[in-house]
Amino acid sequence: MDGQNRAYLLWHVRHAEPADGSEVRHFAADDDFWADEEEGDDVKLLGVYSSREKAQERIVRARPLPGFRDEPQCFYIEPFTVDADEWKEGFETVTTGGDGSDMTAESD
Domain locations in the chain as residue ranges = 6-107
Is 60 exceeded by the pLDDT of residue 88?
Answer: yes
- Mean pLDDT on 81-86: 92
- Mean pLDDT on 16-23: 76
Is 90 exceeded by the pLDDT of residue 59?
Answer: yes
What distance in Å separates the CA atoms of residue 74 and residue 27, rounded to the nearest whole number?
Answer: 6
Mean of the per-residue pLDDT values for the chain?
82
pTM for the complete prediction?
A: 0.71
pLDDT band with cut points at 50, 70 and 90 for residue 17: confident
Handedness of CA 28, 73, 38, 45 (dihedral sign): negative
